[in-house]
Amino acid sequence: MSISYVINKNQGGISLNYITLNNGTKMPQLGFGVWKIENKNMPAVLNNAFNTGFRSIDTASVYENEEGVGEGIAKSNISRDDLFITTKVRNKDHGYDNTLKAFEESLKKLKLDYVDQYLVHWPMPQVDKFIETYKALEKLYTEGRVRAIGVCNFTDEHLSRLMDECEIIPTVNQVECHVYLQQQKLKDFCQKHNIFLEAWSPLMQGEALQEKIIKEIANKYKKTAAQIIIRWHLQNKTIVIPKSSTSSRIAENYDVFDFELDNDSMDRIASLDKEKRQGPHPDNMNILE
C-alpha cells in the first residue's frame, strides 16, 4: 500500500500530520470525533478543538448534531480549504434516492457547499441496500459534491462485494478499533486495496486507559495513557478520531507529535489484542435509525 505523509505541515504555527487517500486527497491522520456532543455545545467544543490544532471533524446524520458542526465552522476564522469535514449516511436512509436526499439534508445542516468525505455508516446486510447506497455516493463524487467517499463498519466480505459491483474503491473503512480489537486481518485486507482503516472508539470509551501495560508505557514516555494509545494508532498507519468535549483532554489528545513509540512498546500493545468489541458486529447491526 502506498502511503504519503506530510509531516509537521505548518498552518499558523500548528503541526498537522496528513495522509494521502487513494484518490489523491490529503486528510489529517488525527481527527476530532463529535459523537454525543449536543448541538448547543458544539460551537464552543469545536472552538477548543480548532484552537488546539484539529482540522478534521467527523460527524454523522445519526448523531443529530450536524447543525452544531455547521455553526461551529461558521463561527471559526479557519479557511474552508483547511478543514476536512466527514459525515455519514444513516441506516434508515439506505437506497439510491434516499441517500441523495439525505446528503442534501446533511449539506444544508452543515451549511456547506460540499463535504470532504461521505461515508456509508453501516452495511446493514439484512436490508441489503449498501450497493445502491454506495452508487449514490459515487454519483455525488463524480459530480464534485464530495471530495472522497468511503464506508464504515464493513467486513472484508462486504468490501469485496462492493468492489465487485461498484466503480470507485472506498477511501476509508471506519471501524471499531482499539488495543483490545486491533483489526489486523481487516487492516491487511484494506491495505491490499489501498483503503485506509479509520478507528472509531480508539480509546474504547476510556476502558483501555486502565490497562496495566498502557500505564507502564505511559510512565516510560512521561505521557498519558490516552496519548500512548493515540500514538500507537498513528504509528500503525491508522486514521484516528478521538472524542472529548473537555478542553484539557482535547489538548491532551492532540499532543502526540513530539515522541515515537519504540518497537518494544509497539509489540507490547500488539499483545493486548483479544477481539473484544464494545459495539455490534457489522453482520448483526440491524437498527434502522
Residue 281 lies in a domain: no
Q: Rounded to whole angstroms, what are the CA distances from 88 to 113, 166, 173, 211, 234? A: 16, 18, 12, 32, 23
What is the per-residue pLDDT for 206?
Answer: 87
Choice among 5, 18, 63, 118 that is catalytic:
63
**Structural domain count, the chain:** 1
> Helix, strand, or coil here: 194?
coil
Mark whether 221 is an active-site residue.
no
Residue 284 lies in a domain: no
Residue 189 lies in a domain: yes
What is the per-residue pLDDT for 289?
Answer: 81
For the chain, 289 residues long, the average pLDDT of each consecutive 10-residue run is 47 71 97 97 97 97 98 96 98 98 98 98 96 98 98 98 98 98 98 97 93 98 98 97 95 96 98 95 88
Residue 286 lies in a domain: no
What DSSP letter does each residue of 238-264 carry, written as one string?
Answer: -EE-----SHHHHHHHH--SS----HH
What is the per-residue pLDDT for 10?
Answer: 46
Residue 131 lies in a domain: yes
Chain CA centroid to CA 133, Å: 19
What is the per-residue pLDDT for 14?
Answer: 56
Residue 288 lies in a domain: no
What is the per-residue pLDDT for 278?
Answer: 92
Residue 244 lies in a domain: yes
| Parent domain of 157 | 5-273
Residue 34 lies in a domain: yes
State the CATH number of the domain containing residue 229.
Answer: 3.20.20.100
What is the per-residue pLDDT for 15?
Answer: 62
* Cα–Cα dist 76/47, whole Å: 7
> Helix, strand, or coil here: 255?
coil
